[in-house]
Amino acid sequence: MEPAIAFRDVSYGIRGKEVLRHFDLEVAAGETLVLLGRSGSGKTTALKMVNALLTPISGDVYVEGKPTREWDPILLRRRIGYVIQEAGLFPHYTVARNVAVVPQLLGWERDRIDARVDDLLSRVGLPPEEFRSRYPRELSGGQRQRVGVARALAAEPSLLLMDEPFGALDPVTRRDLQLEFLALRSTWTKTSLFVTHDVREALALATRIALLHGGRLEIVATPREFLAEKSGEARIFLAALEDLPEA
Amino acid sequence: MPATLAHEIAELTGEHIVLVAVALSIASLIGIPTGISLTRKEAWRGAVLGITNVVQTIPSLALFGFLIPLPFIGGIGKRTAVVALVLYALLPILRNTLTGILGVDPAVVESAVAMGMTDRQRLFRVELPLAAPTILAGVRIAAVTTIGTATIAAAVGGGGLGVFIFRGLASVDSSEILAGAVPAALLALAADGGLGWIERRFARP
Ligand SMILES: Nc1ncnc2c1ncn2[C@@H]1O[C@H](COP(=O)(O)OP(=O)(O)OP(=O)(O)O)[C@@H](O)[C@H]1O
Ligand SMILES: [Mg+2]
Among the bound ligands, the one closest to the CA of A14: 1
Which tens digit of pLDDT belongs to each residue from A110-129?
Answer: 999 999 999 999 988 899 99
**One domain, residues A173 and A247:** yes
Q: What is the pLDDT of residue B65?
A: 80
**One domain, residues A53 and A166:** yes
**One domain, residues A73 and A173:** yes
**One domain, residues A37 and A52:** yes
Based on the structure, what is the number of domains in chain A? Answer: 2
Q: What is the pLDDT of residue A187?
A: 79
Ligand 1 contact, A196 CB (< 6 A)? no
Question: Comparing A7-11, A164-168, B85-89, which segment has the lowest mean pLDDT?
Answer: A164-168
- Evaluate whether residue A84 is within a structural domain: no
Instruction: State which residues form the domain around A247.
Output: 1-79+160-247
| Whole-prediction pTM | 0.86
**One domain, residues A149 and A165:** no
Which tens digit of pLDDT belongs to each residue from B69-92?
Answer: 877 777 788 888 898 899 889 999
- Evaluate whether residue A234 is within a structural domain: yes
Q: What is the pLDDT of residue A245?
A: 53
Residue A244 predicted with pLDDT over 60: no
Q: What is the pLDDT of residue B205?
A: 60
Which tens digit of pLDDT belongs to each residue from A21-45?
Answer: 999 999 999 899 999 998 989 999 9
- Evaluate whether residue A125 is within a structural domain: yes
Q: Could A90 and B117 be called an inter-chain contact, meaning their C-beta atoms sit closer than 8 Å?
A: no
**Positions of chain B with pLDDT lower than 70, given as ranges:** 1, 204-205
Please indicate if any CB of chain B lies within 8 Å of the CB of A75: yes
Q: Could B111 and A88 be called an inter-chain contact, meaning their C-beta atoms sit closer than 8 Å?
A: yes
Ligand 1 contact, A45 CB (< 6 A)? yes
Residue A234 predicted with pLDDT over 70: yes
Site to probe by mutation for ligand 1, drawn from A7, A11, A14 as the one with most ligand atoms within 8 Å of Cβ, is A14
Residue A229 predicted with pLDDT over 60: yes
Alpha carbon distance A140, A162 (integer Å): 19
Please indicate if any CB of chain A lies within 8 Å of the CB of B175: no
